[in-house]
Structure 1
Amino acid sequence: MKFSESWLRSLVDPKLSSEELSHLLTMAGLEVEELDAVAPAFTSVVVAQVLEVVKHPDADRLNVCQVDIGSGTPQQIVCGAPNVAAGLKVPCALPGAELPGDFKIKVAKVRGIESSGMLCSAKELGIAEEASGLLILPADAPVGQSIRQYLDLDDHVFELKLTPNRADCLSLLGVAREVGAITGAATSLPVVAEVPASIADSRAVVLDAPAACPLYYGRIVKNVDAKAPTPEWMKRRLERSGIRSISALVDITNYVMLELGQPLHAFDNTRLDGAVHARMAKPEEKLLLLNEQTITVDADILVISDDAKPLAMAGIMGGEESGITLETSELFLESAFFAPKAIAGRARRYGFGSDASHRFERGVDFGGTRRAIERATQLILEICGGQAGPVVEAKAELPARQPVRLRTARAEKVLGLPLGADRIAGLFKGLALDFVQQGDDFLVTPPSWRFDMEIEEDLIEEIARLYGYDNIPSPAPQARMAMLRQPEAQRPAYRVRQMLADRGYQEVVNFAFVETQWEADFAGKTAEADLIRLANPIASQMAVMRSNLFGGLIANLVTNLKRKQTRVRLFEVGRTFHRDAAAVPVAGYRQPWRLGGLAFGGALPDGWASGGRKVDFFDVKGDIEALLAPAALRFEKLVHPALHPGRAARILLDGVDIGCVGELHPEWVQKYDLTAAPVLFELDFAAIKAVVVPVYTELSRFPAVVRDLAVVVDRDLALQALFDGLKQDLPGLVTDLQLFDVYAGKGVPENKKSLALRIVMQDTQRTLQDSEVDAAMQQLIACLEKTFGAQLRA
């Protein structure tokens, strides 16, 4: 909501500076987003009249002007403006004036002719960015008056950033009402008298959709002069409210909308056939709007029509074919109340909006609908002339104003203030609220302009606003506090993040809604039934909910590579979304927390000792094992749509699948223009936060025996399968079993490989004998030969 301060002060004038008023409005919940002067500072510029214009003798583009500045003696001024002419009234900067840009005016000679001042354009005064010539003033402008006073250039423009619930402040009337309630200043709100009908012409109004349009006023005004000029005071107020002056009739409807908050519409009455209807659109009905867009009106759109055709999208935009022009002499003026639910979202569906829809979808004062049409009629007759017919009213059931109970004790408890019933009653009177006091309680009936008062908390908020948020004390909280137990088997989420940061990863936060193609590439979801599609996405590339975190991480990597980052480590903690009929708390959709990560580039930061080795599967596998230590993980071969078919693994914890790790699939490396394949992982976040509680195990004081064993096995044999088989028949003396070498080639049969195992044996009570060690080794060898067909390597 944008308006000029002088307009507001004509309705309510508190003894506050502009800055103080701005702060007060902001602290009352009406945030002042901008407060700007309408013109920069300048001095000694007055209204002047050009008396005579002659060509400069030595310059083709200059004129020598005799100018009346109100001093009784004409001044000679040299001017190069193309539109200067005798009889015009224009701004004149006198000698000694200081214009914007630190431009000082002096008596000077221009091509040998003395010039005592300068005739000014709007650009030179700082009130316009561009100007093609002098600023032409109205013929009745008083010569000699300060231009700042005449054009009200000491004014300021307020721009409010209103929350959707405060539609009542989308008008000067609403803002003035608020200022009066906050400051206690007397308000001089517009008094609108009914304009008596001077002609009998009228048009019937029919409410075919009374739930969407329960109130409609219409009036015919004939013999108007649509070419009449808009008064300068109205034009100035409109322009400072961000609305361009178009024509007198259009300007009047816009002015009343800003003044009273009621959008109006004027139809060319000669283009209407029969009665005016407020109805829902018919199938495949088309309408050419004022913005020159032809639309097919949906069935849930409320339209205004006559007996033959649609005329306008109700509460949103009028139609071109029934709109007023400079040739209009007879109009049908509309002032109506449209239910917010019937207007909300309809304009955005067609890709446009309007000041009217902005107000109607938030709620317009249905108690002021008649007042608005009378005010508009009054202004039309004053500016454009004409005769007004009677006001035709069509009325159905208006929104019920249900009383809301406020308990004084409850308000005092919530706000922490000793208010008292008398103080609350005074605040309610300032807001012009209708209430009945019952002891210390109040039964408040919301006025017709407030759609946001429905529960007790709404009234408590009003009390807080008027009392002043900055006047409410902020004492230190006092409470009996006890330290909560931190379960030993549960790791805090921040600790997981810290562990990853310690290993060189940086956290990212991505949108949970992603591109449809990402779900196909990284989750293998191509069928529409598999996707969780958004009904109203904020952008076309954010149309579905993600089922894994890979897409966002790849996009982050692409962004980093474009910025010449060669080593990237990223992780994200976020929800993924899956269809599940048994899911809670959102029925039909399971939303687990997941931890995703990505590693790309060098295994170590660049340096003399880094060796230039690139990160691989096993580096990231080590990070995952460190993250879940001391838990023992299993890694099994995995086929995943996002990962390399031979370099990806499923991660198992105690036999439960908790995630996956692997290189990005070569196809996606090429598609997303990556220079190499990153390594990705995704884990169940709940599993990571669960910690294995350490159990004490006695450490041996006796030396360990280490033996190495090399065996030849089938090349396809997985190491994990070999370890699993050995552990089922592992001698009790063996405390550790590790692989330290893999070899295939010369000396090893084809389709075979050599595995070198290191076996560590130890006892906590005694030193092991060679015979015991040899027996344990023979047992291991026998297990390898029997279970896996292994042979000792010579």
Structure 2
Amino acid sequence: MKFSEKWLRELVNPKVTTQELVDQLTMAGLEVDGVENVAGDFTGVVVGEILSTEQHPDADKLRVCQVAGGGDQLLQVVCGAPNARPGIKIPFALIGAELPPGDDGKKFKIKKAKLRGVESNGMLCAQTELQAGDDDAGLWELADDAPVGEDLRTYLGLDDNVIEVDLTPNRSDCFSLRGLAREVGVLNREDVKHVDTAPVKAVASDSFPVSLSAGEACSRYIGRVIRNVDISKPTPLWMQEKLRRSDVRSIDPVVDVTNYVLLELGQPMHAFDLEKLKGGINVRLASSGEKISLLDGQEIELNNDTLLITDESGPIAMAGIMGGSSTAVSEETKDIFLESAFFHPVAIAGKARSYGLHTDSSHRFERGVDYDLCKLAIERATELLIEIVGGTAGPVICEELADKLPEEKTVVLNKGKIESGLGFAIPDNDVVEILTRLGLTLQTSDKDSWSFKVPSYRFDIDIEQDLLEELARIYGYNNLPTTDMRIPALLPVKSEAETPVEVVTSMLVARGYQEAITYSFIDPKLHKLFDDGEGIALLNPISADMSVMRTSLLPGLVSTLQYNLNRQQQRVRLYEHGLKFVPGKKEGETEQTPMLAGLIYGSRYPVSWAEKGQDVDFFDLKGDLEAILAIGGKEVRFEAAQCKSLHPGQTANVYVDGVFAGYIGALHPQLAKSLDIVKPAYVFEVDLKAVIKSKIPSFAPLSKFPEVNRDLALVVDKQVSSAQLQAEIALGAGSYLKKLKVFDVYSGEGIDPQRKSVAFSLTFQHPSRTLKEEEISEAVQSVVTRLEDEFNASLR
């Protein structure tokens, strides 16, 4: 929110500098984003009036103007502005004036000059030339009653600053000059000039019927008819300037007054052209399929949870967001219906954004507007309108659902909680003064506690801790005493049965992987490519393509691969560890499982003169996965499997200590094609708990006796995996088998096409003696017999 410092100081004027004021607001939790002058640094510019103009004899786009304001005599000025004409009052830079610096950083000094042979004594200025606004279409036209010859800075009060504050959503009470003044007043213990308006007497009896059909969404609606207004009258300069310095464009007196009240009091308002209204006002929820044409020209199809202002013709405004074009005030408007209402924050929150809209009204209503402010706002707006555009006011019509209005809140503050909660004591008188200056009303007091009534504009105060926060904020966070924290801290227990995640990720990084961190919510279409099951839909998603919780980490990694490929990164190695979300056994329950996933794509090695540019394959990724699963001495097994998103012939389930832990494989060719991934991509995803699981180390004496090696080449059916063979060999070889390794796989000439040869290296060793040849032969024969019986294997 932007506001004029001078406007704020009209309500409360502490004896502090601008910088001190800014520091106070920031330390009170109202962070100041910026401070800038309302106009550039210039001197010698006065209010001038063009009395006559004539065409320049040698230039079509220049006019020779006779200008008053530089003393007793008229001065001749050559001007190229398209709106230079007799009768207007404009900024007039006299000879010797200095205008704000340009791009070169130097001030521009006005000198007597000749333009195309015609003498020019000064310069007529636009807003941008004085750095006092954004309008550079022509001369800055001042009010008709501007005093000719008066210094422009003095006349417009340009020795002012625009302050921009970034308010947190809980401080909706500060979205107005009135609320900010209240904060400045309590911070400096200064009295605040309240905006109190006497009720405007109803001269006419005209009224317009109002009904409320949306329950709690709109529990109070106040309206008033004002007839015979003259919209052709200009908005006063003082109001235009206050609006401009708050970054609000002046439009017409009626709109300007509603915007002014919005900034001054914080109450959004709207004015309808009374002649365009039909029947009566009804505040209700939209019906599905209804449409409305808005003031900005958009036609919106409404959802059935949108709050509307309607008449007999249908929707005429989106409540708390924007008015409709069908009842808009125009130059022909003579009678208006002015509205001021309370809309519940829940009824407005998120609605504007769902239609791609954002207005000053919605920004305030969705955070909470004082439900007791409507009457004051409509009286203030009526007073200003009659003062500016005339007219006669009818009675104020107030429709409300008393049982649906927010309830008054009372909060008890225990005196002992102040010191225990804040770490220091505050005198009782200071406590009461701070809280009452903030608008709370002291109801009861005794030696142990106070009871305060919370004002209707403080939606954020509910419990005792909220009052403690207010005391600390106003007393000053920088005034809080510094104390050493004494908290007994126990060192975390680190079990040897778990490997730290950092050890696993460090190994992946050492193997060339880079960590990816992706969103936990993904596009439903992407979810369907990886999982046939139903994902968990978000109730209030950021966008349509981020509306489902991920059931796997792979969609995020594959999307990251796409992002890299689109930026000419052809060698990609990624990993991520995070949660996946799947529906639980009970309805509405969600299971969250920590997972580790990896992806490789492109060439096996970085580009090098010594490498031939081989692409990665299944076994590159399998080797990396085996390496990290080997940490902690776990038993790992792979079995051929099927998975929706993976290649049917290059997919395996991963088992850790006999328990399913995840899967590994190549991305399905059809899936890769649909995502424009040209080369094979290989992925794995395993349960992180299985990865970090470790066996507690135990010492075993080293054998001093020699190892004995035996090689076995077995011919088996191609469907038999080496993992199955290894499991049987381990069972048949006995307890003296120390190592078992596959060192050759062959199929081709000399072997049945339906079979293959798998060669194993077996290493035997006894812990306390040398093994005999008979023992080795017996163990090998036992292995061969088991494999013959189980897999119809034969020695090659």
Contact 2:227-2:335 within 8 A present in 1 as well: yes
Counterpart of 1:417 in structure 2 is 424
Local SS of the residue matching 1:366: coil
Give 3-state SS (helix, strand or coil) of 2:714's partner.
strand
Contact 1:513 1:544 in 2 (8 A): yes
Whether 1:648 aligns to 2:651 is yes
Deviation of residue 300 (structure 1)?
4.6
487-496 or 48-57, which moves further after superposition? 48-57
Partner AA of 1:632 in structure 2? E
Do structure 1's residue 534 and structure 2's residue 538 form an aligned pair? Answer: yes
Does residue 144 of structure 1 match 2:149? yes
CA distance in 1 between counterparts of 2:509 and 2:149 reads 73
Amino acid of the residue matched to residue 722 of structure 1? L
Native 8 Å contact 1:506 1:569 kept in 2:
yes
> Structure 1: how far apart are the matches of 2:39 and 2:10?
20
Q: In 1, are the aligned partners of 2:49 and 2:89 still within 8 Å (CA)?
A: yes
Task: Supply the distance in 2 between the matched residues of 1:362 and 1:717 (Cα, whole angstroms).
Answer: 66
Change (3 A) 1:669 1:273: closer
- 1:536-561 CA distance string (max 9 Å, x none): 32122112121111111011111112
Please give the secondary structure, in 2, of the residue aligned with 1:520: helix
Map of 1:627-646 to 2, 5 A cutoff?
A: 627-629=628-630, 630-646=633-649
Counterpart for residue 453 of structure 2: 445
Q: Is the partner of 2:597 in helix, strand or coil?
A: strand
User: Aligned partners of 2:289, 2:573: CA distance in 1, in Å?
Assistant: 55
Q: CA deviation at 1:338?
A: 2.7
Once the 2 structures are TM-superposed, how far is the Cα of residue 468 of structure 1 from its aligned partner? 2.0
Give, in whole Å, the separation in 2 of the partners of 1:353 and 1:606.
51
In structure 2, runs of 5+ residues without a counterpart are none
Q: Residues 326-341 of structure 1: matches in 2 within 5 Å?
A: 326-341=331-346
1:133 paired with 2:138, answer yes
Structure-2 residue corresponding to 1:8: 8
CA distance in 1, matches of 2:753, 2:286: 79
TM-score by length of 1: 0.93
1:604 alignment partner in structure 2: 605
Query: 1:30-80: CA deviations, max 9, x gaps?
Result: 122232322232232222223443444444443443433343344333323
- CA separation in 1, counterparts of 2:141 and 2:784? 107
CA deviation map 1:270-305 (0-9, x unaligned): 344555444455676655443444556555544444
Contact 1:421 1:440 in 2 (8 A): no
Question: CA offsets, 1:631-690, max 9 Å, x none?
Answer: 110100011111111111100112211001111111222222223112101011112222
Secondary structure class of the residue paired with 2:184: helix
- Residue in 2 that maps onto 1:38: 38
Is residue 663 from structure 1 mapped to residue 687 from structure 2 by the alignment? no
Report the secondary structure of 1:681's partner residue: strand
Q: Measure the CA separation in 2 of the matches of 1:567 and 1:380.
A: 69
- CA offsets, 1:146-169, max 9 Å, x none? 222323333222222222221111
Q: For residues 246 and 79 of structure 1, do their structure 2 counterparts lie closer, same or farther at Cα, with a shift above 3 Å needed?
A: closer
The counterpart of 2:677, out of the listed 668, 674, 689, is 674
**Which residue does the alignment assign to 1:752?**
755
| Deviation readout 1:362-410 (Å, 9 max, x if unpaired) | 2222222211111111111111111222223334323211211112322
Report what 2:780 is aligned to.
777
Q: Is the 8 A contact 1:217 1:336 kept in 2?
A: yes
| Inter-partner Cα distance in structure 1 for 2:249 and 2:525 | 44
1:580 to 580, 584, 592: 584
Aligned to 1:123: 128
The Cα shift of 1:19 comes to 2.9
Measured in 1, the distance between the counterparts of 2:152 and 2:748 equals: 98
TM-score w.r.t. length of structure 2: 0.93
Q: Is the 8 A contact 2:284 2:308 kept in 1?
A: yes
Secondary structure in 1 matching 2:505: helix
Distance 2:489 2:300 in 1: 63
Question: In the alignment, does 2:568 pair up with 1:564?
Answer: yes
Question: Which amino acid in 2 is paired with 1:591?
Answer: Q
- Cα pair 1:421 1:441 within 8 Å, conserved: no
Partner residue in 2 for 1:111: 116
User: 1:764, 1:258 → 2: CA distance?
Assistant: 88
- Which stretch of the first structure deviates more once superposed, 304-313 or 32-41? 304-313
Matched, 1:428 2:431: no
Q: Secondary structure at the match of 2:536?
A: coil
* Structure 1: distance between partners of 2:357 and 2:782: 81
- What percentage of residue pairs aligned between the two structures are identical? 46
Which residue does the alignment assign to 2:372? 367
- The 3 A distance-change label for structure 1 pair 312 and 733 is closer
When structure 1 is superposed on structure 2, of 476-485 and 176-185 the one drifting more is 476-485
Partner of 1:109: helix, strand, or coil?
Answer: strand
What code does the residue aligned with 2:694 have? V
Asked if structure 2 preserves the Cα contact closer than 8 Å seen for 1:733 and 1:776, the reply is: no
Q: More displaced, 341-350 or 319-328?
A: 341-350
Counterpart residue number, 1:180: 185
* SS of match in other structure, 1:453: coil
How far, CA to CA, are the matches of 1:346 and 1:185 in structure 2? 39
Could you tell me how far apart the structure 1 residues matched to 2:361 and 2:7 are? Answer: 21
Alignment of 1:398-547 (within 5 A): 398-435=405-442, 436-525=444-533, 530-547=534-551
* CA separation of 1:62 and 1:659: change in aligned 2, threshold 3 A: same
1:711-738 alpha-carbon deviations (Å, 9 max, x no partner) = 3222332111111122221133321121
Q: Which amino acid in structure 1 is aligned with residue 559 of structure 2?
A: A
**2-structure distance, mates of 1:786, 1:303:** 80
1:735 matches 2:738: yes
How has the CA–CA distance of structure 1 residues 501 and 298 changed in structure 2, closer, same or farther, with 3 Å as cutoff?
A: closer
Counterpart residue type for residue 623 of structure 1: D
Residue in structure 2 matched with residue 697 of structure 1 by the alignment: 700
1:455/1:675 CA distance change after superposition, 3 Å: same
- 2:84: which partner in 1? 84
Number of the residue aligned with 1:95? 95
- For 1:275 and 1:753, the matched residues in 2 are separated by 88
**Counterpart position of 2:724:** 721
- Return the offset for 1:438: 2.4
Letter in 1 for 2:339: E
1:604 Cα deviation after fit: 3.2
* Compared CA separation, residues 673 and 332, structure 1 to 2 (3 A): closer
> Which residue of structure 1 lines up, in the alignment, with residue 615 of structure 2?
614
CA contact (8 A) 1:228 1:383 kept: yes
CA distance in 2, matches of 1:79, 1:623: 77
Match of 1:625 in 2: 626
How do residues 333-352 of structure 1 correspond to structure 2 at under 5 angstroms?
A: 333-352=338-357
2:556 pairs with 1:552 = yes
How far off is 1:497 after superposition? 2.6
Equivalents in 2 of 1:536, 1:3: separation in Å?
33
